[in-house]
Structure 1
Amino acid sequence: MKNILYLHAGSEMYGSDKILLELVTGLNKKSFHPIVVLPSTGVLETKMLEANIEVHVVDYPILRRKYMNFKGILKYCYFYRQSIKKILNTFKGRKIDLIHINTLAVLEGIALKRKLRVPLIWHVHEIILRPRIVFFVTSFLAGMFSEKIVAVSKPVKQHLINSKLISAKKIVIIHNGIDNNIYSDQAKFNYIFDELEIPENSVRVGMIGRINAWKGQKDFLNAMFPLLKKNKNLYAFLLGGTFDGEKWRREELEVQIKSSGVKSQIRLLDFRKDTASFYNFFDIFVLPSTNPDPLPTVVLEAMASGKSIVGYRHGGITEMVGEKENGLLAEPGNVPDLSKKINTLIGNKQLRIRYGDNSKIKEEKYFSLETFLLNFSKLYQNLTSS
């Protein structure tokens, strides 16, 4: 049995968190023993412990904007050295066969690789556009210290190659997979009508995602406002929390909604555990990420739930959504075009149903959990047997 050490950036339940959970719980435990190190306690830690996964919480620095200054760099370096000692002490005397870093925001795997003298996989879920220096530094480090880089989509792979710091031969694409037993069109959702006071004969358009600078919540609202004003039976929903210290982003959305004139038709909700029910509650799922989204897990979940998809035509969603097959894609940043695409589906129930059926078929064919786990198992075997 091979001991795989996983390093991750948090303990929430958003895209990369869910994918890590699927991976460590789905591996063949006769072949691999996952050991997960998280920087904080939270929902992800709880879920892993419930699944009998070995989890350790060690406070270590994550590459964030707060460190992007002189004092921040000094603080990061000191914190980094201290956390490496803590992690090494946690596994003192134990054999580690492979390190798996689950995001470019975690650099601790570099020092651990050198100390433990084991192979390193860097699992890249990001397309970093700004700051450019962060893109080049993380690309250099991933290219220099990893044996293999796993990109979650073709756009992610190409973006890394564009840095000219990573060989294409080092990068392998493994599409994320999700558990269709959780995200399916069978999840019950009738209780949501009463909870949120929504008419059952309404048309419901929603998006799910952490509120940040580029997920597109503002674009979503601006696209929906004119449609809501024309259709009193139409409702818009946004689900998602914020990073610590960024509650002001939510407050901005609240101000935007309050001044829209259609506040009664909009529901802004915090992160919830019953997202599977909400996917089924929605008639249309929208994710207008203003930056290229590598391979948005929420879109996979919506597809598994049999929903038609609307988004911007860039990033990983272009691999997931075939235009006029299972959704419609707008010109990136073009809010009127986004609004037009959403309106096309609002006005055509049969088209929504057909696209939704196609979404489910496509997700099962190309983004299955079984294929995801098989590809990682093969990669682990290749790196630990040499």
Structure 2
Amino acid sequence: MINILYLHAGSEMYGADKVLLELVTGLDKKKFHPIVILPSEGVLAVALRHSKIEVYIVSYPILRRKYFNLRGIVSYTYGYFKATKQIFHIIKNQQINLIHVNTIAVLEGILLKHKLKVPLIWHIHEIITTPKVVYKVTSFLLGKYADQVIAVSGAVKEHLVSSGKINQEKIKIIYNGVDNNVFNPNVTTGYLFDEFNIPHDSLRVGMIGRVNAWKGQTDFLQATAPLLEKYPKLYLILVGGVFAGEEQRMIKLRQIAAQLPNNNRIIISDFRNDTANLHNFFDVFVLPSTRPDPLPTVVLEAMASGKPVIGYRHGGICEMVIEGYNGLLVSPNKSELLQNAVEQVVTSKELRKVMGNNSLQRQDNYFSLSAYISNFSQLYSLLTKIKS
């Protein structure tokens, strides 16, 4: 039995949270025993416990902008050593064979690696562009302390290598996968028409993502809202919550939407648990991340639901969407080009059908859950054999 300690940055149910849940629940429990440490309670912790996964809550600091000042550094350092001691106390009587850190924002794995004397896998879901010093420092830490760096896409690997701090031989790409038993074109959607008060003959363009500085909700509205005047059956749907302490972002987004013409056909919702139903409810999925998005899981979910995908041409989406085949990509931060792409797909039922079918096929071929779990299972076995 290989005992694996997982460290993660939150307890929500967005991309990195979902792929962690899918991984630890999908592992062969006769071979692997996952132990998950989270910094807070939340829907992820509930889901893990429901699946009989061993979970502990330790309030350890996550690398966020609030720590990028003198007071923050002191607070982070104190919390880091205190929390690491707590984690070590929890698992000291268990024979940990491997540490899997599921985000670049969690540094506690470094100290635990030395205390436990086990290999460290660092699973990178992020592309850090600013501040540049954080990009350089975290890349240095990855290169120095990780036994294996896992990048979720070629875009992430290229970004890490370009730092000059990591040998590319240490980096392996493992694409995320989604569960086609959960995300598929047969998921029920009827109740959403009633809940959102949307006609059944409507055209629905949707976006799902955390409301933050770069996911692109404002670009989404700039691109799609003008189409509401031209297409009376068109509805726009944005779904996603905010980090604690950033509630003002949601307030501002709602204010922007309220000032737009035809805002009665713009629906903004907080985080929801029925993501699979929402994807199937949309006719077109749009994700205009204004910074390179490493490998957005919501795009894979949309593809598994048989939907065309439209986004900006940077980051991991370029490895998921083939232009003209299962979606359209345009130059980043050009909302007028995004508008043209959305209009092209919205106005052609045949194009939506062809692209949607192609999305489903491409996801099944290259981004399956079984391949994702198998790749990590093989890696775990290899690293523990090397150590022994």
TM range (shorter): over 0.9
| SS of equivalent residue, structure 1 residue 157 | helix
Match of 2:131 in 1: 131
- RMSD of the alignment, in Å? 0.6
Counterpart code for 2:266: I
Match of 1:68 in 2: 68
* Distance in 1 of aligned mates of 2:106 and 2:92: 21
* Distance in 1 of aligned mates of 2:252 and 2:223: 16
* Distance in 2 of aligned mates of 1:93 and 1:332: 50
1:261 aligns with 2:267: no
Match of 1:314 in 2: 314
* Distance in 2 of aligned mates of 1:257 and 1:6: 40
Match of 1:378 in 2: 378
Counterpart code for 1:131: P
Q: CA deviation at 1:92?
A: 2.1
Task: Report the TM-score, using the length of structure 2 for normalisation.
Answer: 0.99
Q: CA deviation at 1:252?
A: 1.1
| SS of equivalent residue, structure 1 residue 122 | strand
Question: Structure 1: which 4+ aligned runs deviate by more than 6 Å?
Answer: none
| SS of equivalent residue, structure 1 residue 328 | strand
Q: Deviations over 1:255-274 (max 9, x none)?
A: 11111112101000010111
Match of 1:284 in 2: 284
* Distance in 2 of aligned mates of 1:92 and 1:284: 49
Q: CA deviation at 1:112?
A: 0.2
Counterpart code for 1:207: M
Q: CA deviation at 1:192?
A: 0.7
* Distance in 2 of aligned mates of 1:259 and 1:170: 50
1:146 aligns with 2:146: yes
How many residues matched?
A: 386
Match of 1:296 in 2: 296
Q: Which runs of 5+ in 2 are unaligned?
A: none
Counterpart code for 2:201: N
1:85 aligns with 2:85: yes
Counterpart code for 1:315: G
1:189 aligns with 2:182: no
* Distance in 1 of aligned mates of 2:225 and 2:11: 34
Q: CA deviation at 1:225?
A: 1.4
Counterpart code for 1:383: L
| SS of equivalent residue, structure 1 residue 99 | strand
1:218 aligns with 2:218: yes
Counterpart code for 1:86: Q
Q: CA deviation at 1:230?
A: 1.5
* Distance in 2 of aligned mates of 1:260 and 1:125: 34
1:115 aligns with 2:123: no
Counterpart code for 2:236: A
* Distance in 2 of aligned mates of 1:168 and 1:289: 26
| SS of equivalent residue, structure 2 residue 342 | helix
* Distance in 1 of aligned mates of 2:158 and 2:261: 43
Q: CA deviation at 1:129?
A: 0.4
Q: CA deviation at 1:229?
A: 1.7
| SS of equivalent residue, structure 2 residue 225 | helix
| SS of equivalent residue, structure 1 residue 214 | coil
Counterpart code for 1:218: T
Counterpart code for 2:168: A
* Distance in 2 of aligned mates of 1:127 and 1:102: 14
Match of 1:14 in 2: 14
* Distance in 1 of aligned mates of 2:274 and 2:134: 35
* Distance in 1 of aligned mates of 2:50 and 2:119: 29
Q: Which runs of 5+ in 1 are unaligned?
A: none
Q: Deviations over 1:95-131 (max 9, x none)?
A: 1100000000000000000111100000000000011
Q: CA deviation at 1:275?
A: 1.0
* Distance in 1 of aligned mates of 2:93 and 2:244: 36
Match of 1:332 in 2: 332
| SS of equivalent residue, structure 1 residue 219 | helix
Counterpart code for 1:22: E
* Distance in 1 of aligned mates of 2:262 and 2:156: 38
* Distance in 2 of aligned mates of 1:205 and 1:261: 17
Counterpart code for 1:102: N
Match of 1:164 in 2: 164
1:246 aligns with 2:223: no
| SS of equivalent residue, structure 1 residue 385 | helix
Match of 1:173 in 2: 173
* Distance in 1 of aligned mates of 2:374 and 2:195: 41
* Distance in 2 of aligned mates of 1:378 and 1:11: 27
Match of 1:4 in 2: 4
Q: Deviations over 1:57-100 (max 9, x none)?
A: 11100000100000000000001111011111111222110000
Match of 2:346 in 1: 346
* Distance in 1 of aligned mates of 2:212 and 2:256: 15
